[in-house]
Structures are given as C-alpha cells and as structure tokens.
Structure 1
Amino acid sequence: MAEANRLLRAARERLPSPGAPGERASRAEVAEAVNAWLWEATGKRHALDAHYLAKLERGVARWPNAAYRAGLRHVLGAADDATLGFVPPRRASGGPLPSPVLFESRWDSRTMIERAIALADHDLLPPERGRSSAREGTLIGHVLTAELRPFLSPVDGVEERGGNAFSPPELDAAEQFVQVLRSWHSAHGALSRAAVVAQLGAHVRRLRAAPQGTPETIRGFRVGAEIADIAASMAWDTGESGTAQRYFVLAAQLAHAAGDDALAAVALASLARQCFDMGRPDDGLEVVQLAQYCTRRIATPRLRAVLATREAWAYALQGEPRAFRRAVALAEDHHGEGVRDLDSRTPSARSLDSAELAGVIGARYRDLARYDPRYAVTAQTYIGRALDLRDPGRKRNRVFDLIGLARAHLLSREPERAAELVAEALPYAGAWASGRVGVRLRDFHREAAVFATVPAVRDVRDAVLKLTA
C-alpha cells in the first residue's frame, strides 16, 4: 500500500476555504485555485481536479508535473516541493526530456547536474525515440522570468563527498577545447551538435562524481557552462527553440554555480536574443534587465556594452526610439572604455569588437526603421562600418552583415543594391542555411516580394528559395 502524503494533506487543511468561512479548503477548491493561477501565469488551461489531488494525498501519485507542483506551491504557500512531500522518481537513462523546473526559489548544484545529464542524454536520442519533443514549447512571460529568478540568490551547494577530482591538466585541455568549439562553429558552421552534447554529458557526469566545493570542481562548473552555451547556440541555429532555451538556462545555472555571474549574464543575453528573434521583446527585456541587475557591481565596461545592445534591441522591436537611442549611447560609451583582463573569459564581451558593435547597432536601427523608414540610412551606415572592420575569417558574421544591409536597402527602396548584397552573401551562406542565416534569408525573400518584378531581385529571390528550401 502506498504511503500517504501527510505533508500535502496538512498543507491543504491549513488553507481556509474561500467559500465556507471557518472551514478548511476542499480538494476541489485547491484544484480550482491552482488551475486559475496557472491560467494567469502561463496563459494555458490546466485540468487539476479533486480526484487527482486525492491520489496525491493518498500517495498513489507522488510526483505531479512541473506546472501542478508550481501551482500547488503557490496556492499552499510552500517554499519547495519537499515541503509538500513530493518526491521525484528515479529517471532511467533515455527517459523523457526534463522540463524546466518552474518557480524554484533557489538553484542547487545537484539538481543542475542531474538536469544537465538528462537533457544531454535526451538530446542524443535518435528522432524516432522522441527527440522531436525537444522542439516543442518554450517558457514565456511570467513563467520564464520566474524560472530565472533564482539567479538573484546564491546557489545551494551539496554535501562534501569524495570522488575523482578534476586535474589541472584536464581542465586546461577542456578550456582549450571550448575555445576550439567556439571558433570552429563561428568560422565553418559544420560542427556536429551531437559531439558537443556528448562532451557536455561526459563532463557533467564528472562533475557529479567530483568532490564538491573545490577550486577544480568550481572551475569544472564554468567549463560546463561554456559547453552548454555552445550547445544552446547550435540548437537555436537549427530552429530547436525549446532545446536551445533549456541549454541557455542550464548555461546560466552552471556559470552561477561557478561563481561567474558575468558568464551567466552572457547566457541570459543569448536567451534574450532568442526572445527577440521569436518576436517577444517584452520577455527579452525582462531577461536583460535581470542580467544587468545581477552584474551591476562586477560587470566590466565591455559586458555592460553587450547588455546595453540587448536592451536597445528590445526598444527597437517595441518602436521606442528615445529609449533605443539612450541604450545605444550607453553601449557605445561603455565600449569606448576599452577591454579589461576579465573580458577574455566572457565570450560575448570578448567578441564585441568595433565591427561587432557596429553590426549589432546597425541591425537594430534596421528594426527601428520598420516604424520610421528614416532610420534605414543610419542602419546602412553602421552595417557598412561593420563590413569594413570585420575580420575576414568571421564568415558567418559577414553573411549576417550582408543580409542585414540588404534588408536596410529594401527599406530605403534600393532593390538593386539589396539584391547585389545578398548575391554576395549566398556563396558563403550554405553552411548555415538550415539555421538562423536561413531565417534571415527567408526574411529577405519575404520583404523583397514588393520588388519581385525587378530582374536582379527576381533572380536573387529564386537563388534564396533554392538554398533555403
């Protein structure tokens, strides 16, 4: 016979009934309150009922889904799942993809590691065994920001234990490997995500077995954060938004566990970029502002510049020119303060050279030009500067610049010049056509439709369609 969940029942019986003064809340009333709160928080209908709540109290079911656990914690005023007697089942290797843990008040090292292992294992499954579920749903709105709120608090550690510690040479090799992954992905686009994810899985298993709290293990958490960030970018490049979001959140968690909130902020900046690309500027702005707040005392000028460009991006998409220009001015001022030694350890800060800054700002002026076409000329000036300054080896960035500049010329009604720029980009775009480069090319194809009778535009749209089909 299942052991009753007395903690859950006691928590319900402490709650006054909303409909019968002096009485305790019924299971039906609690279920109704949970469903109402989840509708408000997520915009989705849920169907918790008194029957299922009774099964939970009897112990027949001991681990409701993440949404029900979040709702019950909220309605019953519980700090965590354990307070309500919820016990997670042991997850067999290759089991279902772990959903982000909704509304936890703190992150802890053990949960991070287990989620990382489960996510990596699931991502390596062949599609016929269910990996396609990784392509489903992302967290949005209040649910996303609540998931990230533990970034405001220290990470809960785990008990000291023995194990095989990382050696300094191993960590040196792992850090060098991360740099190779980043440069190869940027320059060639032919890197296998399976190889990166397999490396992440092996690395976090070492973290699970390593003695906790040592300098080597903390350094290991940081390496794991960088690998997770690379896996996130690769998933996003191939359109797997749900998987990408999980990896970005994981990267922020692992970096936070390593005590490197600058690196965590970079992961959040990438998560914000994902929100912007998905047309959710309000969500992206919330994420950026969280990163800015949590690094307000430790951020270098270059990191502040990165986060200011993300803030500007949100305002451009919202059509707020005054706030946009203020954020751009801050980004340029911070960038002008130069590089600090710590920037070499933070990917976005390290890569935000003058070319990248000009390209990012120019693309954002192009977004703003959708509200006021006069900004298209400013966008062209900035993106043209980026092309002049860009390292020839950064082909992917150059492709983005050329497509972005072409789209700005469409806004200023210069279709022949736009077609010329995209034609210049196409020979290099093939390696990334299945990802975000392909998305940008399809954006151009759609936006150029009004000029489809122009011969140069017609020809280049046909080429774009062939490449991205």
Structure 2
Amino acid sequence: MGRPPLNRQPNHLLAHWMSRGDLSNNRLARLITQRGAEQGITGLGTDESRVRAWLKGAVPREPVPRLLVEVLSAETGMDLTYADVGLPGEAGPAGMRSPWTRTGAIAALSQIIRSELMLPDTRTGPDASDVHIGHELLGPLQEWALARPDEAGQPAPAGGRRIGMSDVEGIRQITSAFRDLDNRHGGVLSRSAVLAQTDTVLSLLRTCTYTEAVGRELFSAAADLGSVAGWMTFDAGRHAAAQRTFVSALHAAAAEGNDRRIGAHILQCMARQMSHLGHVDDALDLVALAQYGARRHLSPATTSMLAALEARFQAILGHTSDSEAAAGRALDAYERVQPGAEEPHMAFFDLPELRATLGMAHQIAAKHVDGAARVRHVRQSTELVLSALADRPEHRQRSKAFDHLGLARTYVAGGEIEGAVQETAQCLQMLGSVQSRRVSDRLGELHAEAEPYAGTHAGTELREQIRTVLTAAE
C-alpha cells in the first residue's frame, strides 16, 4: 500500500486533480494498472482501497507515482509534476536552485500557484519557520544579477493561439486591479483570486505563441502579477509559500523579460518579508542585491525606496548613523522623481510612503538611544508619520492602518501612552475592511512594547484592546 509520511496528512492536491479529471477511486486505479500494462509493468495490485489510502496521505512506491502523474496529466490535459499531485519525487517542488530559463520559470511558478490554489483555508496559519534564510536564500539569488534572457520567442505548440501586446496590456490592467484590492482590503480576501488569475496567465505562457518582443513584455507582466500574488500571500501570513512565489516570479522576470526593474521590485518585497520575520541581515542583503543587480535600470523612485528600506533595516540593527545616512540618500533620490514617469509597480511609492518609511526608521532608532537623541527621533517620527497619514490617498486603507499603528508605537517610544491608545483605536476600527496578518503581527509587537506601562490605566487599556482583537482573530 506504500509507506506513510512521517507527518501523515490528507493529500488534498491528489483529490483536486482527481476531481478535475472526473476520476473515481476505482477508475484511477484501473487507468494506472492499464498504463502500467502498456509499459510492461505487471503485478501493481492497484485498487480502490489503495487510492483511498493515498488520499489519506500514504505514499505509493515507484513506479506507481510516475504512472499516477502520467494518468492525471492525460485525464486533465495538464502537464503535472509529482509535487502538483502532492507526492515527493524527482519532479518535486522547485527549490532555490531552479534554472534561470524560460521553461524552468514557467514550470516553477505554475507548480507553486497550483499548489497554493488547492490548499484548504485551514492551512493558512503562519509557517515562518519554513522560509529559507542566510546563504540558503542569498546564494542562489546572486545568480539573478548575472542571469540573461532565455531563448527568443516561443515555438508554436499544436493549436496554440497567437497573442500580442493587447493581451499583455490586459494582464497589466488586471495586475493593477489586484494591487488596488490589496491596498484597500489587504491580501487575505483576494489571495485566491490573484492566484487563479496568475495560473491563467501562466497557461498563456505555456500554450500560446508570441514574438520575441511580445515575449519580453509578457514575461515581465507575468512576473509583476506573480509579485502581487506573492505579496498577498505574505500579507495573509503564508510566509514559505510567499517566498517560493517571489523567487519564481524573479525567475520569470529574468528568464525572457530580463526586466531588472521588476526584479528589483520583487527583491524589495522579499526584503520586507525577511525584516518582518526578524531576519534583518538578510533583508539588507536583498536590498543590496536589488541595488547592484538593477544598477543601470533603477528609476529615481526605486532608488529612493531601496535607500528608505535600508534606513529602516539599519535602524532595527541599532546602526542609527547608517540609518540616517541612508535616509538622506532616499530623500535626495526622491527629488529626482518625475510625476507620471515611473512604472506602474512603483505607483505605491509616493511621498507619503517615503515619509512613513523614514518615520518608522526614526521610531525604531528612538528605542536604541536615550535623552535628547531619543526625543529628537520621536519628534521626527511623529512629524513624518502624521504628514504621511494626512496625504495618503483614500484607497490606501492598509497603509493608513499601518500609519495609525506606527504613530501608536512612536507615542509608546516617547512615553505618551494616551496618544498610543487613541491611534491604536483608529487602527483597530479599520480592521473590518482591512484583513492583513502583517497588521496583526505589528499589533502584537505594540502589545509587547507597551508592557512597561502595564501598571498604568492607559497602558492597561492599550494592551487590553489589542489583546481582545487578536484573541478574536485566532
């Protein structure tokens, strides 16, 4: 019947593809036996009970997994892998060493998107311990800086339709719509929809024909959509899946599009995730990789954004002088930004976003110093975040929630707990329309930061209102 995995869980992916192929347990067993016989393989003993065991998590021995993948691929019309159907094997999950080629990029990203689409909602809890860090993460990504486009154009598959720039523009419009949803409501609600749309776009890459020029734009658009899928997945708290999606989108950006700007954007997304998970050195390395790998292609806004992130990450590490130097570079670069000249994926990085990022750098720096220096950092943080909040576009609801939360943390750093209570209440009022695990995580950090004031009335009120919301969300 096969060996059970160490942590045996139902194989939801296998169940999904059986459903897609309209296969009962008995029919799948018969088709596997039939395909094996066609290849001279006898004595498999595959029957309904064994399929039922696989669905419960048992892993069949070769050659059954190979035959299973072949049968499901034929019945669904999809080019499936072992990982697609929830099995280990030679065609298993794409690792950090995926090839920087067009075919490899499509396969890796498709595999991840399909897998994420099929997982039930009950498995959306944090999985931060499974992310790659340190050299395991940065080593393979170094190749991005040197990767070159893969073979030009796409050979015509049987029956594949021709697509052009109008199709690419449609993908970009869809990507913009999903970004707007993410900004308004967070990634939790729209994640499944963006994953499904990404799967559809990847199907175009696999099955359609296009010219070399269209191919470059098509891969860039697919990589950008993949970055949104990764970002929503990160915002939903699925950290390992988000990282895999980011890496595969980076491969797509390099594979044929050779789009360094999209690549730098994806790397900054990854840097934010690493910082969020406490791997700040890795976050700084990802920023440096983006700065180097896209050095001839960086727009003023991207240059400013990367420097602003560097300022925040240096502040977390307690390097306040380096943080302020990076903040100065961010401000200088932003002065060169020309309205309307930036690419769509950089639309989020406006002046309020820059001020909010630098305001958080000052808020973090305040925790590492005392006396007059602490007062100065608190004052600068307050001024910057208040300015950001006042000028935020109305649709940037999650950003506004972060701004209120950032102000609350700044007030705690300055000992103004009453102000922190008011700003936290403003943030919590927005959580009905904004669903973001990142916001919840930051609320948890504020709860810990307010612990020294737990003996005061305001401190008790602040921590209690956070505890009530986070407990209800569990």
Specify the TM-score bucket, using the shorter chain as the normaliser. Answer: 0.7 to 0.9
Partner of 2:397: 395
**Residues 102 and 267 of structure 1, relative CA distance in 2, 3 Å threshold:** closer
With over 3 angstroms needed to count, the CA separation of the structure-2 counterparts of 1:167 and 1:387, relative to structure 1, is same
Quick one: distance in 1 between partners of 2:434 and 2:208? 37
Alpha-carbon distance in structure 2 between the residues aligned to 1:312 and 1:213? 42
Q: How does 1:373-388 map to 2 (within 5 A)?
A: 373=370, 374=374, 375-388=377-390
Is contact 1:158-1:212 (8 Å) kept? no
The DSSP-based 3-state class of the residue aligned with 1:464 is: helix
1:91 pairs with 2:82:
yes
Contact 1:122–1:131 (CA under 8 A) maintained in structure 2:
no
Q: Distance in 1 between matches of 2:248 and 2:279?
A: 21
Q: How does 1:33-432 map to 2 (within 5 A)?
A: 90-91=81-82, 93-96=84-87, 99-103=93-97, 107-127=100-120, 137-152=130-145, 153-157=147-151, 160-162=154-156, 163-189=160-186, 191-211=189-209, 214-257=212-255, 258-339=257-338, 342-345=341-344, 347=345, 349-373=346-370, 374=374, 375-432=377-434
Q: Structure 1 stretches of 5 or more lacking a match? A: 1-59, 62-88
Instruction: Find the counterpart in structure 2 of residue 436 from structure 1.
Output: 438
Question: CA–CA distance in 1 between the matches of 2:432 and 2:124?
Answer: 25
Question: Any idea what the Cα deviations from partners look like across 1:112-157, whole Å, max 9, x if unmatched?
Answer: 1011111111111233998889766111111111121221221333
- Counterpart amino acid of 1:468? L
1:351 aligned counterpart, secondary structure: coil
1:364-390 CA distances to partner (integer Å, 9 max, x unpaired)?
A: 111222211412222212112212222
Answer whether contact 1:110 1:158 (CA < 8 A) is retained: no
TM-score scaled by length of structure 2: 0.74
Distance 2:148 2:396 in 1: 37
Cα distance 1:90–1:411, how it changes in 2: closer, same or farther (>3 A)? closer
Deviation at residue 267 of structure 1 after TM alignment? 0.6
Please give the secondary structure, in 1, of the residue aligned with 2:425. helix
Name which of structure 1's ranges 124-133 and 204-213 shifts more when overlaid on structure 2.
124-133
Equivalent-residue separation in structure 1 for 2:439 and 2:259 (angstroms): 31
Task: State the one-letter code of the partner of 1:156.
Answer: D
- With over 3 angstroms needed to count, the CA separation of the structure-2 counterparts of 1:101 and 1:93, relative to structure 1, is closer
Q: Give the alignment partner of residue 448 of structure 1, picking from 447, 450, 454.
A: 450
Equivalent pair of 2:127/2:237 in contact (CA under 8 Å): no
User: Does the 8 Å CA contact 2:168/2:217 hold for their aligned counterparts?
Assistant: yes
Q: What corresponds to 2:24 in structure 1?
A: none
1:33-72, CA deviations, whole angstroms, 9 ceiling, x for partnerless residues? Answer: xxxxxxxxxxxxxxxxxxxxxxxxxxx99xxxxxxxxxxx
Distance 1:421 1:160, change over 3 A: closer
User: What is the TM-score of this pair, normalised by structure 1?
Assistant: 0.75
Deviations 1:144-202 (A, max 9, x none): 11121221221333785113232333322221111111011111236331111111112
Three-state SS of the structure 2 residue aligned to 1:343 is: coil
Taking the aligned partners of 1:397 and 1:131, their CA distance within structure 2 comes to 23
Instruction: Tell me, in whole angstroms, the C-alpha distance in 1 between the residues paired with 2:166 and 2:210.
Output: 19
| Contact 1:434-1:468 within 8 A present in 2 as well | no
Judge conservation of contact 1:100–1:147 (CA < 8 Å) in 2: no
Instruction: Give the letter aligned to residue 151 of structure 2.
Output: G
CA shift at 1:301, angstroms? 1.1
* Contact 2:128-2:277 within 8 A present in 1 as well: no
Change over 3 Å in CA distance of 1:132–1:460 after alignment to 2: closer
Structure 2 residue runs of 5 or longer lacking an equivalent are 1-61, 64-79
Aligned equivalents of 1:235, 1:143: Cα separation in 2: 21
SS at match of 2:202: helix
Moved more, 185-194 or 196-205: 185-194
**CA offsets per residue over residues 294-352 of structure 1, 9 Å max, x none?**
1111211111001111222221121111211111100000001122655133x2x3221
Cα deviation, residue 403, structure 1: 0.6
CA distance in 1, matches of 2:351, 2:400: 14
2: CA distance, partners of 1:400 / 1:114: 36
Q: RMSD of the TM alignment (CA)?
A: 2.7
Q: Which moved more, 1:428-437 or 1:439-448?
A: 428-437
Contact 1:300–1:340 (Cα < 8 Å) also in 2: no
Q: Would the alpha carbon gap of residues 396 and 454 (structure 1) be closer, same or farther in structure 2, given more than 3 Å must change?
A: same
Task: Describe the SS at the equivalent of 2:253.
Answer: helix
SS at match of 1:242: helix
Q: Could you tell me the percent identity over the aligned residues?
A: 27
Higher RCO (Cα < 8 Å, 6 or more apart): 2
Describe the superposition over 1:248-267 as per-residue Cα deviations: whole angstroms up to 9, x where unpaired: 11222222231211111011
Q: Secondary structure at the match of 1:124?
A: helix
Deviation at 1:228, TM superposition (A): 1.1
